[in-house]
């Protein structure tokens, strides 16, 4: 014969709930479910954040760290722990950079492998050009100032091409106005990388994609080129329409 379920007061006693007079049945059910399905203690560890329900690695495993400065600053008790395997989006190379990874995703058209090959060849081309300039230069002071790290050159070029302000279209009384707005950091990065990709595709001479990208990156590094000109055009458009700034939907913080 089937046994009758325990009374509600017994469930409250087992789950350490208040008396039935102080709590409703719906609240007791939610507390019982929370106590039954509680998260593991791995989410409390900053080096092993909780991702979904469990995982294939025990809690003592930590996530991989690719930055050398962060690796050297880790305490010894963290460095002695085992490390999880790197995913396909986290390659253990010196090219590991969130901006470079974002550019790989933008360049790759349906194939992540092609995007990686184009980006790596672009960085190698930048390195080759800068090393040739380094050995052709005879002045020691200019040699000391010359940068040959392709990742640093790429990062500085992207910073030079980022716009500070932009415009948005607002329809007022049947007329469309370009209203200046402040851009988020993600929007600035997206616009700079997108302009770089589009300008590299619009090449008049038959060249390879990574060579065109390397040439535009070096121009952006010097503060020149069509990508920087697009940034200046956006700034001029915002400056010419600053009279319509009161039409913005959200105030600039």
Among 221, 46, 4, smallest CA distance to 122 is for 221
pLDDT, tens digit (0-9, with 9 covering 90-100), for 81-115 = 888 887 766 655 655 788 888 899 899 888 888 88
Contact between 210 and 115 under an 8 Å Cβ cutoff? The reply is no
How far is Cα 70 from Cα 64, in angstroms, rounded to an integer?
11
How far is Cα 228 from Cα 158, in angstroms, rounded to an integer?
10
Residues whose CB is less than 8 angstroms from the CB of residue 34 and which lie 6 or more positions away in sequence, other chains included: none
pLDDT for position 36: 42
Q: Using alpha carbons only, give the angle 243, 249, 250 rounded to the nearest 5 degrees.
A: 100
Statement: residue 246 has pLDDT above 70: yes
pLDDT for position 192: 94
Task: Kindly provide the residue ranges of all beta strands, DSSP E only, lying in the chain, ordered along the sequence.
Answer: 165-172, 175-182
pLDDT, tens digit (0-9, with 9 covering 90-100), for 145-166 = 888 889 899 999 999 999 988 8
| Mean pLDDT, the chain, integer | 77
């Amino acid at each position: 014969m089937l046994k009758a379920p325990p009374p509600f007061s017994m469930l409250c006693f087992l789950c350490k709930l208040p008396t039935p007079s102080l709590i409703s049945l719906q609240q007791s059910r939610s507390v019982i479910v929370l106590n039954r399905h509680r998260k593991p203690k791995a989410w409390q560890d900053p080096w092993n954040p909780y991702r979904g329900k469990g995982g294939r690695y025990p809690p003592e495993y930590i996530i991989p760290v690719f930055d050398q400065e962060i690796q050297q600053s880790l305490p010894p008790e963290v460095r002695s722990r085992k490390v999880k395997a790197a995913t396909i989006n986290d390659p253990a190379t010196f090219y590991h950079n969130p901006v470079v990874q974002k550019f790989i995703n933008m360049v790759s058209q349906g194939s992540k492998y092609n995007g990686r090959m184009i980006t790596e060849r672009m960085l190698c081309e930048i390195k080759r050009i800068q090393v040739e300039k380094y050995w052709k230069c005879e002045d020691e002071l200019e040699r000391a100032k010359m940068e040959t790290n392709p990742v640093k050159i790429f990062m500085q070029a992207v910073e030079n091409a980022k716009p500070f302000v932009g415009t948005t279209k607002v329809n007022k009384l049947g007329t469309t106005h370009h209203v200046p707005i402040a851009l988020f950091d993600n929007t600035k990065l997206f616009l700079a990388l997108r302009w770089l990709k589009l300008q590299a595709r619009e090449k008049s001479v038959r060249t390879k994609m990574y060579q065109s990208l390397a040439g535009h990156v070096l121009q952006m590094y010097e503060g020149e080129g069509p990508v920087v000109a697009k940034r200046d055009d956006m700034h001029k458009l915002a400056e010419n329409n600053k009279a319509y700034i009161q039409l913005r939907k959200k105030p600039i913080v």
